[in-house]
Amino acid sequence: AKKATLAKQVSTKFDAQTFSPKVQMMEMYLRRAIEREEFEQFLVYYQPIVDIHSGQIIGAESLLRWQHPELGMVTPTELIPLAESTGLILPISDWVLNKVCKQIKNWHNQGFTDLRVAVNVSGNQLKQPNFSQKIIHLLLANNLVPDSLVLELTENIIMPDINQAISTMNEIHSFGVKIAIDDFGAGYSSLIYLKQLPIHTLKIDRYFIQCIANDSQKAVITTALIQMAHNLNLHIVAEGVETEQELAFLRQHKCDAIQGFFFSHPLPAREFEKILFANKRL
């Protein structure tokens, strides 16, 4: 067994992740959890997205958590790359999508009919030939208004196979599902494509928002991004808003919506529901 492990290590690129016993342990537990369908170890948290002008919650982003009996809480920054490299991202993502659709229906039934929930899409998912069909089936099966679901795609997953990505995005878009470009500005941007992609929202990466009021470069870029989005008729959301100053800047420059610890951390569904009922506002 030791020999096999060593061979595996040698055959893989030298990278610290492969050698880390913690990562290997995580991989084993992850496989086991998926094989045994122990999805109760996974949790979906919801972080509010708030309209800057009305101050109201307009939606949420769903964020995966893995609560393992031995490993404790594993964050997505550890979990997602591992899940992607092992292919386990597909069953996990299916579970997330299904869970989120059920949750949207539940909130709509409770009267929050305008609420939109975003799901992060990984490169492996977008590459699936039946991805758009899957999404459409899921919405039909849950009897959901298509535009209550938003798919968040980064440029990094769109660009490697832009033609295939555009055709999948067009299918999803023509059914009525909204598409957001996530981490905008952080990836390898190709502004020329922006106009050709069937997108509804741009999410400005947290990097630009952090300390924006004291950083003239970030301020200039963000102001330009907001203008550009509006000229292209896109909705623009700032990610990672943590302070009053950041909010003030974004408000002054007419950003549409914000998401970040300033308003709320990601919350379990029940907690998110509480702030909906309490009508918590910015």
Stretch that binds ligand C2E, among 13-21, 75-83, 140-148, 165-173 (CB under 6 A): 75-83
246 binds Ca ion (CB under 5 A): no
State the minimum distance, in angstroms, from the CB of residue 85 to ligand C2E: 13
- Spell out where 106-212 has E strands: 116-120, 149-154, 178-184, 201-204
Q: How many helices (H) and strands (E) does the chain have?
A: 14, 10
Strands 116-120 and 57-68 come out as parallel
Give first-to-last CA distance, the chain, whole Å.
56
4 vs 131, which CB is nearer to ligand C2E?
Answer: 131
Buried b (16+ CB within 10 A) or exposed e, 158-184: beeeeeebbebbebbbebebbbbbbbb
Backbone torsions φ then ψ of 193, nearest 5 degrees: -80, -20
Stretch that binds Ca ion, among 72-80, 104-112, 140-148, 177-185 (CB under 5 A): 177-185
76 binds ligand C2E (CB under 6 A): yes
152 binds Ca ion (CB under 5 A): yes
Q: Contact, 243 vs 24, CB < 8 A? A: no
256 binds Ca ion (CB under 5 A): no
State the minimum distance, in angstroms, from the CB of residue 184 to Ca ion: 8
Residues that bind Ca ion in the complex, under the rule CB under 5 A: 120, 152, 182-183, 239
Residues that bind ligand C2E in the complex, under the rule CB under 6 A: 47, 63-64, 75-77, 80, 93, 96, 120, 122, 182-183, 206, 240-242, 259-261, 266
